Amino acid sequence: MVLATNEITFTTDERFKVRAWRTGGVWAWDLQIEEATLNDAGIYECQVNTRPKVSHPVYLDVQLGGAVIAGPPEVYVEAGSRLLLTCWVQAPPRPPGPITWLHNTTPIHAEGSRGGVSLHVAQEGAKASARLSLTSVTPKDAGNYTCQPEGLDPAHVSVFVLQDEEPRAMHHDASTPSSRINTKLLILGIFIILLTHTDR
């Protein structure tokens, strides 16, 4: 399908435009596609009607913008430790807009009442990373965390806070009685065997 010749377009799709410009005595033509979609992906070819024909193919790869949280979809963290989540955002061809973290449905702010919250965003071209850090997590910090870039698909992760409700000493004490019983039974068994052999 021929899209354009020189600056004349043959498609009814108004997103396609051709721009001609001259540099150093040489003419060049740019094909522009506004608001590219996944259907626009494929091979585009620039041809010059000479003999032999001169052409140059270019493959267009269209990527969906959105957020991805590094790591598994479920995160387990011990109470009292630090929770660190990193979100990667792509918004080609433009730089991403503001990125918001939510705990369940509540936006997270560094200056909120919880304290110990750190938010850091680094941007490079059409990509950005957003890092969320929570110190000394408690069971209240468990739940769903969402990385929401403006105008793009969000990413989610479920956080579970683990806490040891029973001290280790209690676990040790709970097993002690049965250990003592087993030891007494063993000693009693040996004593009976010795008596049997003695009687013979």
Instruction: Show Cβ contacts of residue 186 under 8 Å, excluding neighbours closer than 6 positions.
Output: none
**Contact present, 90 and 66 (Cβ < 8 Å):** yes
The per-residue pLDDT for 122 is 94
Instruction: Determine the Cα–Cα distance for residues 4 and 10; give it in Å rounded to an integer.
Output: 5
Q: Beta strands 42-48 and 54-60: pairing type?
A: antiparallel
Tell me which range, 15-24, 156-165, 169-178, is most confidently predicted by mean pLDDT. 156-165
Domain extents in the chain: 4-60, 66-162
Torsion, Cα of 98, 105, 74, 123 (10° steps): 10
DSSP 185: H
The CATH class of the 66-162 domain is mainly beta
The per-residue pLDDT for 192 is 37
- What is the fold, at CATH topology level, of the domain defined by 4-60? Immunoglobulin-like (2.60.40)
Which residue has better confidence, 48 or 149?
A: 149
**Contact present, 137 and 83 (Cβ < 8 Å):** yes
The per-residue pLDDT for 165 is 58
Q: Which amino acid is at 77?
A: V
> How confident is the model over 60-102, as pLDDT tens digits?
887 778 999 999 999 999 999 999 999 999 887 778 889 999 9
Residue with tokens 């969906």: 64
What average pLDDT does the structure give for the chain? 80
The per-residue pLDDT for 112 is 82
Is the confidence at residue 200, as pLDDT, over 60? no
The per-residue pLDDT for 79 is 96
Bond preceding residue 93 cis, omega within 30 of 0? yes
Cα 52-56-60 angle, rounded to 5 deg:
155
